[in-house]
Amino acid sequence: MIGILNDKDYLHMADYLSKLFEKTIITRVPSERSNDPKDVYDTFKNLGTKNISFENDFEIAFEKLLSESADYYFISGSLYLVGAIRALIMGVKGP
């Protein structure tokens, strides 16, 4: 699961990350600084990423991620996203 801020070089991130995982979910970072996740999705898709999906809502994206059995789950791109997912796991309400 990947969400990227608008001031990051997501093209190089996408080029690297697109080759690492069996499935990729692109989502919005819960921040006003979020990049347009559709642009990020299109970049990954254009790089030939297979089994990729887009979900604008990060909470729904996380539910989709967990709905599939895996040995591990990888959440990256922004610490804002990682922190929000951690809060969900810990049952902590955000501001």
The more confident residue out of 10 and 36 is 36
> Residue 51: phi, psi to the nearest 5?
55, 60
Per the domain annotation, does 86 fall within a domain? Answer: yes
Per the domain annotation, does 63 fall within a domain? Answer: yes
Domain span holding position 17: 10-90
pLDDT in tens, 28-50: 999 999 999 999 999 999 988 88
Nearest alpha-carbon partner for 41 in 31, 51, 53, 29: 53
pLDDT in tens, 59-81: 999 999 999 898 999 999 899 99
Per the domain annotation, does 28 fall within a domain? Answer: yes
Per the domain annotation, does 5 fall within a domain? Answer: no
